[in-house]
Structure formats: structure tokens, C-alpha cells
């Protein structure tokens, strides 16, 4: 009985281990020729097509909320001219990579998990291995790279749309001055923040794709197993994202001292 | 052509559940073998172990000097090129039409031109009777057609070993008879080693050179067709003749009470052994043995009426030439 409890308690660790081993397998397969360029383009196009519109729509209120909150707060200190800089910092450094990752995981990742899961239960993956083709190299690597690339591009989209949303709300609704909003952009934010945002997006795209692929390829037990795999892949990705985001932010703050206005 | 598959001491369990243990047999090169067993005895697991999709706990599967159970991933992908596998539902790639599905191994593994690929694919599609359906998606066709398409894909690289998982599930009796005849003709043509996993008794009695029976977590018997069909071993006898009397019950094994109740019942006599199916062009296969040869060599008297063209339960027997029968 005790061994049963122990086995149950240790199961998540085993899963984490095999997820990591899977990530290493993918890393090794990235360098194996031939590279599946066609699959990569198709997947990148697919992920972009399901994420662009929702991402843009999420980005507008993100920028707006920051502008409204910060605007109301700093107005009490008479520091209204710094709203622009706060919005840029918050959007570029935190909001953009997170919003990107949530959508890449929620829309792209769930589609990847469902696709691979369906292939798994229909024995397509087995058939592929039997035909002498490694599904990790053939299917997973293009998806992971496509996810990373699209995450970086979406990060740029969210940054721009978010800052524009902040501008609209600050200038039009709160009556801020356009010049001050634009001029204060570089007061707190610096170039390194942009790189940080891009690096985060890259890592989040990687995590979303790896978790989704792992869950899909290990789906079992018929159609219900595929549903479970999709569900778990989204939940696990979200959990990992927030932890990794915290760690990466902490590291960046240590390496790059924040600019004091 | 065709290669031996040597299986030794194979054991597999999932968690605490033992699937089978100590399975030892050799699939002779170029011959057709059938693996039988009640539902849920791990026939498909055995098949997947042979191609290295599932690693056994102990034991070895040796093909051309490579042990599939312990070789490196790279060797495994090389050895797999010798195999053609037909999965239960055909396992077609859902995003491609049938033509691309069948062409897939050629495009991945060979440098053939598109017109050469077209010729080979159409030849295999013709073989399984799917000409005209090559632009359909797997989702648009029936299960039987998917199965035949899967067979075309398995054949496209001219395999040395063909593994077939339940070819007759979901097929009507006519299509089953056709697909059985197709296996015999294919074997005559390419001399590959065949392993067919099934529980269709009719096919088992007429198609293979060798029969194996998995039962109660071990290999109960494996040997030439005539050896099993004339066997008095209770499990083999019960299964091959689809009887209720014997050690196999509805749920795996019968309990002692049920067995005791049956003890006094006389077993029905063994039905006659039917003729083996022959290639449709009449030219015997390379490894085909004359009917009754095993029985004569081993001094076993086959059940009365065996090896006659009109033997019961022998759809293929009708075609055979009655003058060839030994009686």
C-alpha cells in the first residue's frame, strides 16, 4: 500500500522527467537533416492564422488598462507625463510576451496537441515510425520552430498594438498630452527591455510547443485521451509560463539595472 | 528473399499486468505464419514488439543479426525499412489523399522521379483494387478500403517481412476471401515472410504455412498448419474449431466447476483439414508444401475427409485441383 502511495506521489516527477527528455530529443532532432521546410511553413502559417486576430484584440485592452490604472495613479503625484514610459515598460517587458504565450498556447498549442493526439490514437505515428520516419523530426521539430517564430512576431504585434491602445486611452479619454506620452517612452524603458520581451516570447513559444507536442504524442485511450491531452497541455503550459516568466524577469532585473527616470 | 525472424524468451508486462512471457518462435523466411489467440491476449502487442514500437522486458527479436529489442534507435530505423506493416485501421495519414499516402514512403526514402513514383503507386493500387479512389481522403472511404490502402502503402517499398494486424476485422466474407487470396498471391510474388495476426478461424485454417496460438499469457503452440489442425491439445483444439467445450471460457479461463461439469461430455470429432489456398495463377509458392506432407512425415493420421477439394469450411478448397489430393 505504501509503495502504491509513493508511486502515485512520484508520478508527476516521472512525467516532468520524460517531458524534459522529450525536449532534449527535440533539440537533437532540430539538427538532423533533411529539415522539413514545407511542414514548417505550413505550421507557421496555420499558427499565425489562428492567433493574429485574437492576439491583437487582447492587446488593445491590455495597453488600455495599464494606461488607465497608471494614468489615474500617477496623476495624483502630478507625474502624468510619465504615463507613456510606464505603458511601454509594462507592455514590452511583461504584457506582450505573456499575452503572446497565452494565445500561442491556447490557440496554437491546443491545435498541435489535438492534431498529434488524433494521429497517435489512429496509429498514424506508429505507422510513420514503421515506415522509417522519426515523427519527432518530421512533425514536432517544424511545429516547435514555427511556434517560436510566430511567438516572436506576435510579441512585436502585441507591443505595438498595446502601446497604441495605451496612447488612445491616455490621450483621448484621460486627456493626456500626445507629446508627453511619446516623449517619455525612453524615460524608463530601454533597448534591453525590448530584447528581454523578445527572448521571453521565444522561450514561451518553445515551452508551449514542446508541452503540446509531448501531450499529443503521449495521448492514449481513444478520443477521450485526446481531449485530456489538449486540456492538460493548456493547463501545464500556463503553469510553466508564469513560473518561467517570474524566473526570467528576476534574472533580467539582476543583469540589467533598471533605468531610473 | 524474405528473412527469418528469431524471437527468443520474449516477456512483456504493463505495470503489474503480465501480457505474455517466454515467447520463443522463429518465423521461417518466406513462409506465411498466423498468430491466433482469444481477444486481449496481446497479439497486437507482440506485433508491435516485433517492429520495436514496444520494448519487451526481456528477450530478443533478431532479424538479420540485429536484435530489435536492444539495438540503437538508428539501427532500428534501418531495420524497419525491411518491414511492411498493415495496422488494424490502416493507419492512413488523415491529411493526405490515398495517392500521397501510398507515395509517402517512396518520397521519403528514395530519390525516384515523380513519374516513377506514379507508376509504382498505381501498380500497388491496382493490386489492392483501389484504382479510381487515389484522390480520396482516408476519412471519405470505408474501413475496408482504408485497410486495402494501408496494404498498398505497406507493399510500396517491397518489404522482406510483412506484418498484418487483423486483416479481416470489419471486412465482409467476400472481401475477406479476396484479401486472403491476395496474401497468397503476394507471397508467391515477393517471397516475403508474412505474419498475420487474426482470430478468424476460416482464414487460419486455409491461408498459412504455420500457426501460433497465444493463450493464457504464453505461446501455447507454434508449428506447421497441419500439426495444429490435427492436434488433440485441448486449448488448440477448442480454439481452432471454435467450440465452447475446452479450457477457454467467456472471461479468459473457465473455473474448476465449469471444467468438472464438462468432463464427461464427449469432444466432437476433429473436422477435416481443408486444402491450403493456392496462388490464383496455379504456380505453387516457393515454400508451399504438398497437402498432408507434414502428417505423413510425422505419422499423424489426419481427421477423415482431410485434404479433399470439397472439405467443409474450405472456401479456397473449391479452387484446388482434386487430382492433387492424396486420397
pLDDT tens across B202-240, in order?
Answer: 888 888 999 998 888 888 889 888 888 888 888 888 888
Residue B75: the pLDDT is 86
Report the complex ipTM.
Answer: 0.74
pLDDT, tens digit, 9 for 90 and up, residues B44-91: 888 888 888 888 888 889 988 888 888 888 888 888 888 889 888 788
Query: Strand order of the sheet with strand B66-67?
Result: B17-27, B5-14, B58-63, B66-67
Residue B309: the pLDDT is 65
Mean pLDDT confidence for B298-318: 64
Dist CA A193 CA A195 (whole Å): 5
pLDDT, tens digit, 9 for 90 and up, residues A40-91: 999 999 999 988 888 888 888 888 888 888 877 887 887 777 778 888 888 8
Which of B:83-112 have CB within 8 Å of A? 83, 85, 87-89, 91-94, 104-105, 108-109
SS3 (DSSP) at A80? helix
Query: How far is C-alpha B206 from the geometric centre of its chain's CA atoms?
Result: 12
| Neighbour-count burial for B221-250, b at 16+ CB within 10 Å, e otherwise | bbbbbbbbbbbeebbbbbbbbeeebbbbee
Instruction: Domain count for chain A, please give it.
Output: 1
Query: How far is C-alpha A25 from the geometric centre of its chain's CA atoms?
Result: 21
With a cut of 50, say whether residue B316 has pLDDT above it.
no
With a cut of 60, say whether residue A261 has pLDDT above it.
no
With a cut of 70, say whether residue B317 has pLDDT above it.
no
Is B165 inside a domain boundary? yes
B51 to A123: CB separation less than 8 angstroms, yes or no: no
Dist CA A231 CA A242 (whole Å): 17
Is A14 inside a domain boundary? no
Nearest CA to B2 among B159, B127, B152, B155? B159
With a cut of 50, say whether residue B320 has pLDDT above it.
no
- A127 CB neighbours in chain B (<8 A) are 85, 87, 91-93, 150, 153
Share of chain A above pLDDT 90, in %: 30
pLDDT, tens digit, 9 for 90 and up, residues B96-154: 889 999 998 888 888 889 999 999 999 988 888 888 888 999 888 888 888 888 889 99
Dist CA A238 CA A247 (whole Å): 14
Q: How far B256 CA sits from the closest chain A CA (Å)?
A: 31
**In this complex, which of A119, A126, A131 lies closest to B104 when CB atoms are compared?**
A131
Share of chain A above pLDDT 70, in %: 97
Is B279 inside a domain boundary? no
Is B181 inside a domain boundary? yes
Higher per-residue confidence, B248 vs A236: A236
Query: How far is C-alpha B296 from the geometric centre of its chain's CA atoms?
Result: 26
**In this complex, which of B78, B85, B91 lies closest to A122 when CB atoms are compared?**
B91
Is B28 inside a domain boundary? yes
Cα dist. B301→B35, B206, B232, B291, B296 in Å?
24, 19, 12, 13, 8
With a cut of 80, say whether residue B248 has pLDDT above it.
no
Pairing of strands B32-36, B210-215: parallel
Q: In sequence order, which ranges of B112-246 are alpha helices (DSSP H)? A: 114-127, 143-155, 173-190, 201-206, 225-229, 234-240
With a cut of 50, say whether residue B196 has pLDDT above it.
yes
Residue B323: the pLDDT is 47
| B164 at A interface, C-beta within 8 A | no
pLDDT confidence band for B95 (50 / 70 / 90): confident
| B14 at A interface, C-beta within 8 A | no
pLDDT confidence band for B311 (50 / 70 / 90): very low
- A132 CB neighbours in chain B (<8 A) are 77-78, 80-81, 105, 108-109
| B81 at A interface, C-beta within 8 A | yes
Domain that holds residue B71: 5-228
Residue B251: the pLDDT is 67
Residue B244: the pLDDT is 75
B77 to A134: CB separation less than 8 angstroms, yes or no: yes
CATH of the domain at B11: 3.40.50.300
Is A18 inside a domain boundary? no
A127 to B87: CB separation less than 8 angstroms, yes or no: yes
Is A12 inside a domain boundary? no
Residue A231: the pLDDT is 92
Residue B198: the pLDDT is 86
Q: According to the per-residue pLDDT averaged within each range, which of A127-131, A210-214, B236-240, B249-253 is highest?
A: A210-214
- B109 CB neighbours in chain A (<8 A) are 131-132
Pairing of strands B218-224, B210-215: antiparallel
B105 to A118: CB separation less than 8 angstroms, yes or no: no
Residue B118: the pLDDT is 92
Mean pLDDT confidence for A145-158: 92
Nearest CA to A55 among A205, A147, A155? A155
Dist CA B279 CA B261 (whole Å): 45
Nearest CA to B258 among B266, B249, B269, B271? B249
Q: Do B146 and B138 contact (CB within 8 A), yes or no?
A: yes
Domain that holds residue A82: 37-253
Mean pLDDT confidence for B13-28: 87
pLDDT confidence band for A1 (50 / 70 / 90): low
| B51 at A interface, C-beta within 8 A | yes
Residue A20: the pLDDT is 92
Mean pLDDT confidence for A205-225: 91
Is A207 inside a domain boundary? yes
pLDDT confidence band for A211 (50 / 70 / 90): very high
Residue B1: the pLDDT is 64
Dist CA A227 CA A233 (whole Å): 10
Is A19 inside a domain boundary? no
Is B212 inside a domain boundary? yes
Instruction: Domain count for chain B, please give it.
Output: 1
Q: Do B241 and B68 contact (CB within 8 A), yes or no?
A: no
Is B302 inside a domain boundary? no
- Answer positive or negative: Cα dihedral of A205, A145, A151, A56: negative
A130 to B89: CB separation less than 8 angstroms, yes or no: no
Angle between helices A141-167 and A37-77 (to 10 degrees): 30
B80 to A127: CB separation less than 8 angstroms, yes or no: no
Q: How far B297 CA sits from the closest chain A CA (Å)?
A: 39
A124 to B91: CB separation less than 8 angstroms, yes or no: yes
**Closest-approach residue (CA) in chain B for A135:** B77
**Closest-approach residue (CA) in chain A for B150:** A127
Residue B318: the pLDDT is 42
Q: Do A206 and A98 contact (CB within 8 A), yes or no?
A: no
Helix (H) or strand (E) holding A144: helix A141-167
- B85 CB neighbours in chain A (<8 A) are 127, 130
Residue A2: the pLDDT is 59
pLDDT confidence band for B264 (50 / 70 / 90): low
Q: How far A164 CA sits from the closest chain B CA (Å)?
A: 40
B53 to A131: CB separation less than 8 angstroms, yes or no: no
**In this complex, which of B85, B94, B108 lies closest to A130 when CB atoms are compared?**
B85
Residues 6+ apart with CB under 8 A from B209: B28, B31, B32, B33, B224, B225, B276, B287, B288, B289
A124 to B53: CB separation less than 8 angstroms, yes or no: no
Q: Do B162 and B134 contact (CB within 8 A), yes or no?
A: no
Is A20 inside a domain boundary? no
Q: How far B98 CA sits from the closest chain A CA (Å)?
A: 14
Q: Do A83 and A177 contact (CB within 8 A), yes or no?
A: no
Dist CA B128 CA B137 (whole Å): 17
∠ CA B274-B280-B282, rounded to 5°: 85
**Closest-approach residue (CA) in chain A for B73:** A134
Residue B314: the pLDDT is 43
Is B60 inside a domain boundary? yes
Amino acid at each position: 500500500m505504501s509503495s502504491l502511495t509513493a508511486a502515485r506521489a512520484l508520478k508527476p516527477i516521472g512525467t516532468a522527467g520524460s517531458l524534459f527528455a522529450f525536449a532534449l530529443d527535440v533539440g537533437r532532432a532540430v539538427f538532423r537533416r533533411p529539415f522539413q521546410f514545407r511542414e514548417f511553413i505550413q505550421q507557421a502559417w496555420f499558427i499565425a492564422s489562428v492567433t493574429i486576430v485574437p492576439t491583437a484584440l487582447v492587446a488593445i485592452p491590455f495597453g488600455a488598462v495599464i494606461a488607465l490604472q497608471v494614468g489615474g495613479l500617477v496623476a495624483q503625484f502630478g507625474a502624468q507625463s510619465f504615463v507613456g514610459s510606464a505603458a511601454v515598460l509594462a507592455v514590452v517587458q511583461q504584457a506582450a510576451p505573456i499575452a503572446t504565450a497565452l494565445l500561442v498556447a491556447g490557440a496554437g498549442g491546443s491545435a498541435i496537441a489535438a492534431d498529434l493526439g488524433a494521429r497517435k490514437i489512429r496509429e498514424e505515428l506508429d505507422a510513420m515510425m514503421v515506415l522509417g520516419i522519426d515523427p519527432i523530426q518530421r512533425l514536432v521539430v517544424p511545429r516547435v520552430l514555427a511556434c517560436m517564430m510566430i511567438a516572436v512576431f506576435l510579441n512585436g504585434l502585441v507591443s505595438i498594438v498595446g502601446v497604441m491602445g495605451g496612447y488612445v486611452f491616455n490621450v483621448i479619454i484621460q486627456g493626456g498630452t500626445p507629446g508627453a506620452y511619446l516623449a517619455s517612452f525612453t524615460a524608463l524603458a530601454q533597448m534591453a527591455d525590448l530584447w528581454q520581451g523578445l527572448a521571453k516570447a521565444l522561450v514561451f513559444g518553445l515551452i508551449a510547443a514542446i508541452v503540446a507536442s509531448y501531450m499529443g504524442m503521449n495521448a492514449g485511450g481513444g478520443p477521450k485521451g485526446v481531449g485530456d491531452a489538449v486540456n492538460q497541455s493548456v493547463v501545464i503550459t500556463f503553469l510553466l509560463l508564469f513560473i518561467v516568466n517570474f524566473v526570467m524577469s528576476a534574472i533580467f532585473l539582476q543583469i540589467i539595472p533598471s533605468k531610473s527616470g | 528473399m524474405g528473412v527469418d525472424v528469431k524471437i527468443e524468451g520474449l516477456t512483456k508486462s504493463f505495470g503489474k499486468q503480465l501480457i505474455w512471457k517466454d515467447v520463443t518462435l522463429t518465423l521461417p523466411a518466406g513462409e506465411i505464419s498466423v498468430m491466433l489467440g482469444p481477444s486481449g491476449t496481446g497479439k497486437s502487442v507482440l506485433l508491435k514488439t516485433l517492429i520495436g514500437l514496444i520494448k519487451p522486458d526481456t528477450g530478443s527479436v533478431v532479424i538479420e543479426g540485429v536484435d530489435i529489442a536492444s539495438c540503437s534507435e538508428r539501427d532500428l530505423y534501418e531495420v524497419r525499412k525491411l518491414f511492411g506493416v498493415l495496422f488494424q485501421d490502416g493507419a492512413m495519414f488523415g491529411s493526405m489523399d490515398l495517392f500521397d499516402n501510398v507515395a509517402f514512403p517512396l518520397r521519403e526514402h528514395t530519390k525516384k522521379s515523380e513519374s516513377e513514383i506514379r507508376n509504382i503507386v498505381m501498380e500497388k493500387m491496382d493490386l489492392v483494387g483501389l484504382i479510381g479512389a487515389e484522390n480520396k481522403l482516408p476519412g471519405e472511404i470505408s474501413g475496408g478500403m482504408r485497410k486495402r490502402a494501408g496494404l498498398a502503402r505497406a507493399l510500396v517499398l517491397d518489404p522482406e517481412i510483412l506484418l498484418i494486424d487483423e486483416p479481416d476485422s470489419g471486412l465482409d466474407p467476400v472481401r475477406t476471401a479476396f484479401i486472403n487470396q491476395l496474401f497468397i498471391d503476394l507471397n508467391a510474388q515477393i517471397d516475403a515472410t508474412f505474419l498475420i495476426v487474426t482470430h478468424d478461424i476460416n482464414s487460419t485454417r486455409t491461408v498459412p504455412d504455420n500457426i501460433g496460438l497465444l493463450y493464457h499469457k504464453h505461446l501455447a503452440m507454434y508449428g506447421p498448419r497441419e500439426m495444429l489442425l490435427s492436434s488433440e491439445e485441448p486449448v488448440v483444439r477448442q480454439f481452432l474449431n471454435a467450440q465452447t467445450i475446452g479450457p477457454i471460457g467467456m472471461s479468459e479461463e473457465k473455473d474448476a466447476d465449469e471444467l468438472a461439469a464438462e468432463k464427461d461430455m464427449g469432444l466432437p470429432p476433429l473436422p477435416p483439414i481443408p486444402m491450403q489456398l493456392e496462388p490464383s495463377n496455379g504456380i505453387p509458392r516457393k515454400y508451399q508444401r504438398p497437402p498432408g506432407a507434414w502428417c505423413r512425415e510425422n505419422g499423424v493420421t489426419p481427421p477423415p475427409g482431410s485434404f479433399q477439394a470439397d472439405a467443409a469450411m474450405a472456401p479456397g478448397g473449391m479452387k484446388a485441383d482434386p487430382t492433387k489430393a492424396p486420397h
